[in-house]
Structure 1
Amino acid sequence: MKMVLFIIMAITLILFVYVTFFSDFGYDKTNNRLNINNTQNEIVKDYDGNKYHTVKIGNQVWMTENLRSTHYIDGTTIKGVSIYDNDEKNIEKYGRLYQWEAIVNPSGLCPEGWHIATDEEWKTLEKALGMSNTEANSTGWRKTVNESTNLKKFERAYFWNNKKRKEINISGFSAVPSGARTRRDLILPFWGGGRYADYWTATENRSSEAWNRSLVWLPLHLGSSKVFRGSLNKEFGFSIRCVKD
């Protein structure tokens, strides 16, 4: 009996290692046939002088990096902004994390001519990458084809600091696993770096919550090839993407 259990555990471990590091589990190669005309031809600067590349997906133009600014466009210092794990090295890699109240300040967080994407604008992006209208309007982990893979810069978070990491970036959106700042009443101040990405939209759902999007880089996770749409507490610190006016 012990030998049988040992064999089962060994096979499970081998399969996990294979799926995690070597297979294309969760990556639908048919997405390469999507007609995505992504062109990058503009560089935008924020108030702090940070530069952002852009990409056109469908009829929208998005920044390809998470926002890193510490000032609104009028020069006012942003409150409710943090760095993952309070590590300055993560700014270039992940961008900064913003509480929702910071992103809707009338002073303006995105550079002139740009704004934080709304829930509807995220839906437009998702539908441009193949999601059906019905699923775009639903909540939870949603998938029609493989929109999550289309949004990600790298297929495997495990290879984040490894030269063997596989770059896919089909759409040019270049999503990275930037993690999140948790609420003040939770034990861990940061969560999910290297495994998850969480993005605020500019759309409020109720007084204490706003709509968000999440991606996950864990191949055995039920959402590994999906995009999460939900409504979370505004105190969380999430990444921000700007879209052109």
Structure 2
Amino acid sequence: MFSGHCPVCVTEGTPMDYSSLFAELPKGSLSDIIVDRITNALISGELKPGDRIPTETEFAEKLGVGRNAVREAIKVLVAFGVLEIRRSAGTFVVDHYKTSLLNPMIYGLILSEHSMSELLDVKIALSNSVMYLAMKEASPEDIAHLRELGETFRTAMNDPGTDNEACYQASLAFNEFLGSITHNPMLDQLDSVVRRIAAFTRHAAIEKSREIGEPDLLPANYLKEVDLIEEGGQSKIADFMDERMELWKRLLL
């Protein structure tokens, strides 16, 4: 089993020990195992953003596998937006994750069977965390802009000349900005995954509230959320989320 030093770390400029990357492989799909090995190295900090990873040849030689398995693993991680290939320089861990690229979590959730109730429970759980952090981290300017977005959504919903798609975009703008003012990129990214998975529920809720002649239901809920964030009323979050869940059930179930 290899336990020496591997290529120079580009960001640090000093040799790094990649011994865990080259530990003896368990049984299973070789490309999947290599993907998992690189992923674990990222989680542990053995590989960091900007680092150059070992070459296909180095991986193949140290692991005793064919280059095709290594190449397939690298292709997967490039598709996921985790690695990038720089011509004549090698393969590197990306400096910043691009949310526009393939997110495997989204496909995993899409391909799994989930009920509407389960989805709403997840939305509430994340909304709770987002609201809590927004209360702690949002600046007065953040809250003022969030209120503007809420009022824009209200105007769109109450204007018969504004179509449902425009209302959806106004709702999305409010929620995307709300996620950003938590100033917690990890939570914001998780929230963005659920927003994407649950996009159809937002469309359906907007359409239903306008159909039943109550277009202000959702905007009023959004603006109440802004009020609570501004007040810092953390003790009121649970009651607000219960109210929101009842609203979603009314419009979606």
If the length of structure 1 is used for normalisation, what is the TM-score? 0.24
Flag the structure with higher strand content. 1
The structure with the largest alpha-carbon Rg is 2
Flag the structure with higher helix content. 2
